[in-house]
């Protein structure tokens, strides 16, 4: 192919322009030049230093230098040393991170210290940065009260986070070991002789949480009890957890003040137990004298639950049996106004989510007559924070009173 003078001049012109652009870029990069970064690390172990773990001596730390725009690692210095030499870097903006060690899961005796600061490097200049390092994870120490130790022989504490969990055995706690966790949500699970209790806690960096575990006093009646107190002084936080007694003691005698007329369950407000919720359909509260509960030990008389029509039901929700130390027993007084009591027409079910129900089988069924009697269920009742009971009637005129859910 023949190249004319015009084409030849044009081609050379384009080549010259490309060369100029390339050279200009190289010159621009060159003009950026490089500078120096001088590090000054200071560590403030204000929470706690465990002498068996890695020291909080800043000279042992690792320093990562990352580009500010894309967070790419440019250089790592490990260990940084007591008097680190200036670090040569291309001019530009950086993030400088210092840390005593990596921390990937909760662990004993692993306080981690660190800090971050931005740095801008100018050509042929030295830029000094000071990184103040503090503890970046949270410390937790567990203690048991004398009362707790005297009442229990087998006990552990597990603290769970999304990043992992850490088990505190009795030996760990007796030795005063400290666990370290991410500054994040945590769940404290206390297990003692078959009783389990969970408590949620938000952990923060630069804090040590001193958790004291005690036994709650045995309640005379009512639901499970616990108490939590929190105080914060000088970066240390004290948390007191009272382990429930493991006793479940729910009772309902349908109220002590007799109703004058039948009242729908959904409208009745005089329940003796105020800590649960009662709903129903086709069910009422009534108190006709000749029908009030009797003939069994503990019959309260007065009001009773009246499952009047077929397909009527009553639901009791909001029961907490999660910390029950032993198996659970459900019982209640019952009678039918019909000549024969047909147990198949009365179904008692349990649910932990309020959606899926499992029928129970009575261990002590009611006799087949019109008298009041007690029905008892001792198997199949789950331990749950959200237990729901449902009583369904496929017959007519079934009466119920004195419901009880207790640990055996």
**pLDDT tens digit string along 343-392?**
778 899 999 999 999 999 998 887 767 788 899 999 999 999 899 999 99
Judge whether 137 and 182 are in contact, CB under 8 Å: yes
Indicate if 269 and 180 belong to the same structural domain.
no
Indicate if 276 and 343 belong to the same structural domain.
yes
Which residue carries 């009678």 as its tokens? 335
Greatest alpha-carbon pair distance for the chain in Å reads 125
The secondary structure of the chain, three-state, reads CCCCHHHHHHHHHHHHHHHHHHHHHHHHHHHHCEEEEEEEEEECCCCCCCCCCCCCCHHHCEEEEEECCCCCEEEEECCCCCCCCCEEEECEEEEEEEECCCCCCCEECCCCEEEEEEEEECCCCEEEEEEEEEECCEEEEEEECHHHHHHCCCEEEEEEECCEEEEECHHHHHCCCEEEECCCEEEEEEEECCEEEEEEEECCCCCEEEEEEEECCCCCCECCCCCEEEEEECCEEEEEEEECCCCCEEEECCCCCCCCCCEECCCCCCCCCCCCEEEEECEEEECCHHHCCCCCCCCCCCCEEEECCCCEEEEEEEECCCCCCCCEEEEEEEEECCCCCCHHHEEEEEECCCCCCEECCCCECCCCCCCCEEEEECCCCCCCCCEEEEEEECCCCEEEEEEEEEEC
> Distance (Å, rounded) from C-alpha 275 to C-alpha 252?
11
Residue 221 lies in a domain: yes
Which CATH number do you get for residue 117?
A: 2.60.40.1120
Return all residues near 357 (Cβ < 8 A) that are at least 6 apart: 349, 350, 351, 388, 390
Judge whether 286 and 254 are in contact, CB under 8 Å: no
* 153 torsion bin: left (phi>0), alpha (psi -120 to 50), beta (else): alpha
The token pair at 300 is 């309260």
Q: How many domains does the chain have?
A: 3
Residue where a domain stops, chosen among 243, 264, 291 = 243
pTM, 2 dp: 0.55
Indicate if 300 and 214 belong to the same structural domain.
no
* Predicted local confidence at residue 3, as pLDDT: 38
* 92 torsion bin: left (phi>0), alpha (psi -120 to 50), beta (else): left
Residue 53 lies in a domain: yes
Residue 28 lies in a domain: no
Indicate if 58 and 159 belong to the same structural domain.
no
Beta bridge partners of 219: none
Residue where a domain stops, chosen among 71, 106, 135 = 135
Indicate if 178 and 272 belong to the same structural domain.
no
Indicate if 260 and 388 belong to the same structural domain.
yes
Residue 264 lies in a domain: yes
Indicate if 253 and 400 belong to the same structural domain.
yes
Residue where a domain stops, chosen among 108, 135, 162 = 135
**pLDDT tens digit string along 190-238?**
988 878 888 899 999 889 999 999 886 655 443 333 333 333 334 667 7
Residue 15 lies in a domain: no
Print pLDDT tens along the chain (408 aa).
343 443 344 434 444 444 443 444 444 444 568 888 888 887 777 664 443 445 678 888 999 999 999 889 999 998 888 888 889 999 999 999 989 999 999 999 999 999 999 999 999 899 888 888 888 999 999 999 888 888 888 899 999 999 999 999 999 999 999 999 999 999 999 988 878 888 899 999 889 999 999 886 655 443 333 333 333 334 667 777 666 677 888 999 998 889 999 999 989 999 999 889 999 999 999 999 889 999 899 999 999 999 998 899 999 999 999 888 889 999 999 998 876 677 778 899 999 999 999 999 998 887 767 788 899 999 999 999 899 999 999 988 999 999 999 987
> Distance (Å, rounded) from C-alpha 317 to C-alpha 116?
51
Domain of 349, in residue numbers:
249-407
Indicate if 256 and 396 belong to the same structural domain.
yes
Indicate if 41 and 160 belong to the same structural domain.
no
Q: What phi and psi values does residue 237 have, to the nearest 5 degrees?
A: -125, 130
């Amino acid at each position: 192919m023949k190249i004319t003078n015009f084409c030849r001049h044009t081609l050379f012109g384009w080549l010259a322009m490309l060369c100029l652009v390339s050279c200009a870029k190289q010159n621009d990069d060159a003009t950026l030049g490089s500078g120096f970064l001088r590090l000054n690390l200071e560590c403030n172990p204000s929470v706690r230093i465990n002498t068996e773990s890695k020291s909080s001596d800043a000279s042992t730390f690792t320093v990562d230098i990352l580009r500010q725009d894309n967070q790419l690692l440019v250089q790592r210095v490990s260990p940084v040393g007591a008097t680190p030499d200036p670090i040569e870097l291309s001019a530009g903006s950086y993030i400088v991170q210092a840390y005593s060690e990596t921390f990937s899961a909760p662990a004993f005796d692993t306080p981690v210290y660190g800090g971050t600061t931005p740095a801008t490097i100018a050509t042929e200049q030295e830029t000094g940065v000071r990184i103040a390092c503090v503890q970046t994870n949270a410390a937790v120490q567990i203690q048991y009260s004398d009362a707790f130790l005297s009442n229990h022989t087998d006990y552990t504490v597990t603290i769970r986070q999304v990043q992992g969990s850490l088990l505190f055995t009795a030996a760990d706690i007796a030795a005063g070991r400290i666990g370290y966790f991410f500054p994040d949500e945590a769940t404290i699970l206390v297990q003692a002789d078959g009783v389990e209790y969970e408590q949620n806690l938000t952990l923060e960096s630069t804090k040590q949480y001193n958790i004291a575990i005690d036994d709650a006093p045995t309640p005379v009646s009512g639901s499970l009890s616990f108490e939590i107190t929190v105080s914060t002084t000088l970066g240390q936080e004290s948390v007191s957890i009272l382990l429930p007694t493991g006793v479940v003691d729910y009772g309902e005698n349908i109220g002590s003040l007799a109703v004058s007329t039948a009242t729908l369950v959904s409208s009745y407000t005089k329940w003796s137990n105020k800590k649960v919720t009662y709903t129903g359909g086709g069910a009422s509260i009534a108190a006709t004298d000749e029908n009030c509960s009797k003939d069994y030990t503990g019959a309260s008389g007065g009001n009773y639950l009246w499952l009047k029509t077929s397909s009527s039901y009553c639901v009791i929700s909001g029961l907490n049996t999660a910390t029950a130390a032993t198996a659970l027993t459900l019982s209640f007084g019952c009678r039918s106004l019909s000549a024969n009591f047909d147990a198949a027409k009365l179904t008692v079910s349990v649910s932990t989510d309020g959606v899926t129900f499992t029928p129970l089988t009575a261990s002590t069924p009611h006799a087949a007559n019109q008298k009041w009697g007690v029905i008892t269920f001792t198997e199949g009742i789950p331990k749950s924070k959200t237990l729901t009971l449902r009583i369904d009637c496929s017959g007519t005129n079934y009466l119920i009173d004195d419901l009880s859910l207790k640990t055996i």
